[in-house]
Structure 1
Amino acid sequence: MNTSNLLKLVFLAAIWGSSFLFMRIAAPVLGPGVLIEYRVTFAAIFLAVVGLVLRKRLDLGKHWRHYLILGFFNSALPFLLFAFAAKTLTASVLSVLNATAPIWGAIVGAVWHRHMVSRRVMLGLALGTAGVAMLVGFDHVSSKEGAGLAIAAATLAAFSYSIATTYTKVAKSAQGVEPFANAHGSMWAAALLTIPALAIFPQPGEPTVGIMGAALALGVLCSGIAYLLYFGLVRDVGATSALTVTFLNPLFGILWGTLFLHEVVGWYTVAGAAIVITGTMLVTGYKIKLPWMQNTEAA
């Protein structure tokens, strides 16, 4: 991975880590339904403009069912769950819980393919569970009213991502669909699927310019631009190297929460995040490659 791609990777992690900051700012005022409807609609419009410029087709007649499935499990459901949890949990806790998605993916994949996981994966699962338990057990946010439900919602959101990942790997309907089309089509599908949530989660407050700015940033920056960066990295350095962003997201989630929301970062936050990231690396089989090591990974 050259310097340019490394900077893109760090920038992508910073963007995705900031999504929890923006949700913490906007969710208490807009509510989960309105906020996420804004997010996916802004992202869909942005990607539509990019698609027109790049002349990218969606082929809705052929792939609409695929877009609906992917839009539900990869966007609508996890976004709503994280936005609901953001009313109670800190950006730091949210970002660490989000990092457990690959761990859940290992479980879903094992069940789907009906095979036993390796000892390495089992150790990763145990570490991930221990890290989350340490984080939520010691963090003062766990004593808040509704914290248990919020933690369950955020965990279910990470689990939803793992279902989406498994689906795109094994489902016939997902094969042969261009990555940009996946991002673009799934956002329009998510915008449609999120509509019922507007009735379930009414808007509790009146938005300010800052609140709407956070919603716009969630859609355009954290969804639209982030997807373009991610798929570009997958193309340039390979999926395994691009997956490194999963390990960096919590670092930026904690950083932004500390800088802008003045969240308290205790030893348990750092230790819990480190344990979860280590568990995730074991589960995904990721191997650290130092700059002086020969790069044998196919791009």
Structure 2
Amino acid sequence: MDGRAWGLLCALSLMWGTAFYFTTVQLQALPPLTIVMLRVGLAATALLGWMGAAGLKFPNMTNWPIFLGLGLLNNVLPFALLAFAQQSISSSLAGILTATTPLWGVLIAHFFTDDERATPSKIAAVLLGAAGVAAMAGNDAASGLSVDLLAQCACLGASLSYASAAVLSRRYLKGDPSPLAVSTAQFCVAAVIMVPVALWIDRPWTLPMPGPTVWTATAGAVLISTVFAYLVYFKLIARVGASTALLVTFTVPAVAMLLGIVFLGETLLPAHILGMALIALGLAAIDGRFLRIVMSTGGVR
């Protein structure tokens, strides 16, 4: 992790962290399914142009069941669940709960891969993460089923979906030529799914025309949090590897929280801060990578 790699990681944190802010702004005028339709549809168009400019070929669609799975698990389901959740909970809390994705990945990889079994440290990580979620959702769960509790469960469902997509891509897409091509294919499949669904359910042409702020947020979600974020992510993986690139999980919630507090007037309860701390400890415990990097950066041996 040299200076350039840290710079890429910080840029990626900002790009993915702003997605929660952009969604909150879009929800002022657009329903969740329309937001997802715009994001995947416009991202697919941009990525197709990007792939064409790079001279890459579209993946062989004989693997369409896999791309269907990736489009659903990596785009349609998590985007829709998070947009639904942010109708009733803050972007800060949504960002914190989504940080549980690697913890779900530990459990899924243990049961569906042969070379990523859960170790004692990974089990401890999952338990810490579960404690963090319990700390944040405890009051809502104690008072019975509520809109806020459903929203928090939706965020966890989005995290589970992201983790499932990661395991699916690892198992079945090892031979594809380019992560960019695979991403473009999955966004195209996601767009094919979401466009008719959103048009049928939301009937967006009947809605009032959104103002410039909402359109700016939509452009930001598509270009910054999706298209450009993928470019940075691919560069980071090429430079330091996929597992180290996942350090971004530590910083995305902080970006979402900062933007929510500064620009949206959100506040965090003590339970949310405690939960975020426990989830961060769980992420750090997965393999100790973050602690080793911090100690190395500080000159500790």
Q: Deviations over 1:207-230 (max 9, x none)?
A: 211112111211111011001100
Change (3 A) 1:259 1:247: same
> What does residue 150 of structure 1 align with?
151
Structure 1 position 242 matched with structure 2 position 245: yes
Alpha-carbon separation, structure 2, partners of 1:32 and 1:145:
19
Task: Give matches, 1:30-45, under 5 Å.
Answer: 30-45=30-45
Letter in 2 for 1:86: Q
Letter in 1 for 2:52: L
Task: Give matches, 1:79-90, under 5 Å.
Answer: 79-90=79-90
Change (3 A) 1:284 1:219: farther
Q: Deviations over 1:172-227 (max 9, x none)?
A: x5533411112211111111121353134555654211112111211111011001
Task: Give matches, 1:161-240, under 5 Å.
Answer: 161-171=162-172, 173=173, 175-198=175-198, 199-201=200-202, 203=204, 206-240=209-243
Structure 1 position 121 matched with structure 2 position 131: no
Query: Offset of 1:69 from its aligned partner?
Result: 1.6
Contact persistence 1:44–1:184 (CA under 8 A):
yes
Residue 30 of structure 1 aligns to a residue whose secondary structure is coil
Query: Offset of 1:145 from its aligned partner?
Result: 5.3
> What does residue 136 of structure 1 align with?
137
> What does residue 3 of structure 1 align with?
3
> What does residue 102 of structure 2 align with?
102
Letter in 2 for 1:106: V
Contact persistence 1:93–1:136 (CA under 8 A):
no
> What does residue 291 of structure 1 align with?
297
TM-score (norm: length of structure 2): 0.88
Alpha-carbon separation, structure 1, partners of 2:168 and 2:157:
16
Alpha-carbon separation, structure 2, partners of 1:291 and 1:283:
20
- Aligned CA RMSD, in angstroms, stands at 2.5
Query: Offset of 1:262 from its aligned partner?
Result: 0.9
Alpha-carbon separation, structure 2, partners of 1:48 and 1:102:
29
TM-score (norm: length of structure 1): 0.89
Contact persistence 2:74–2:162 (CA under 8 A):
yes
Alpha-carbon separation, structure 2, partners of 1:2 and 1:147:
41
Alpha-carbon separation, structure 2, partners of 1:55 and 1:156:
36
Alpha-carbon separation, structure 1, partners of 2:144 and 2:95:
19
Alpha-carbon separation, structure 2, partners of 1:256 and 1:192:
32
Alpha-carbon separation, structure 2, partners of 1:159 and 1:61:
26
Letter in 2 for 1:217: G
Change (3 A) 1:254 1:108: same
Change (3 A) 1:99 1:254: same
Letter in 2 for 1:82: L
Change (3 A) 1:284 1:225: farther
Residue 83 of structure 1 aligns to a residue whose secondary structure is helix
Query: Offset of 1:292 from its aligned partner?
Result: 6.0
Contact persistence 1:123–1:282 (CA under 8 A):
yes
Alpha-carbon separation, structure 2, partners of 1:43 and 1:81:
18
Point out where structure 2 has 5 or more consecutive residues left out of the alignment: none
Alpha-carbon separation, structure 2, partners of 1:294 and 1:182:
40
Alpha-carbon separation, structure 1, partners of 2:65 and 2:29:
33
> What does residue 282 of structure 1 align with?
285
Structure 1 position 29 matched with structure 2 position 29: yes
> What does residue 92 of structure 1 align with?
92
**Identical aligned pairs, as a percentage?**
28
Letter in 1 for 2:5: N
Contact persistence 1:66–1:174 (CA under 8 A):
no
Letter in 1 for 2:17: G
Query: Offset of 1:135 from its aligned partner?
Result: 2.4
Paired residues in the alignment total 292
